[in-house]
Amino acid sequence: MTHEDDKTLTEALVAARQAGRACALATIVGTRGSTPRKVGARMLVDLSAGLTGTVGGGCGEAEVIDSAHRVLETGIPERVRVDLTEDFTTWSPAVCGGVMDVFVEVV
């Protein structure tokens, strides 16, 4: 993440806190192979204000967003394995072919 990404994410988190909203923070904690983002990339899921940041986009990010919804409902953190290798047979130029582990927690 760049300094500007950190600043934007922090601003979104502060705004949510001031409004009294809980958010889910998704952080890439491990990668193998080719992935769209690397360890440390973060995404904030605010059910009222939307997304800030990214963990890579596409179907993988959709899995993480689904996890964020569950985490916000239950309060229980989750570790999501986003496997980008299964779609490799589609020959899409958007497929990376790696695996990301993403930790999702309430903040």
Q: What Cα–Cα distance (Å) separates residue 85 from each residue in 55, 89, 94?
A: 16, 8, 12
> Residues 45-87: pLDDT tens digits?
999 999 999 999 888 899 999 999 999 999 999 999 999 886 5
In sequence order, what are the residues at sequence separation of 6 or more whose Cβ sits closer than 8 angstroms to the Cβ of residue 43?
25, 26, 51, 52, 53, 54, 55, 61, 64
Residue 62: CB atoms within 10 A of its CB come to 11
Query: Any idea what the Cα angle at residue 46 is, between residues 105 and 74, rounded to 5°?
Result: 45
Band (pLDDT 50/70/90 cuts) for residue 1 is low
Q: Provide the pLDDT for residue 24.
A: 98
pLDDT of residue 4: 75
Give this prediction's pTM.
0.88
Q: What is the pLDDT of residues 6-21, one digit of tens each?
A: 889 999 999 999 999 9
What residue spans define the domains of the chain?
A: 3-106
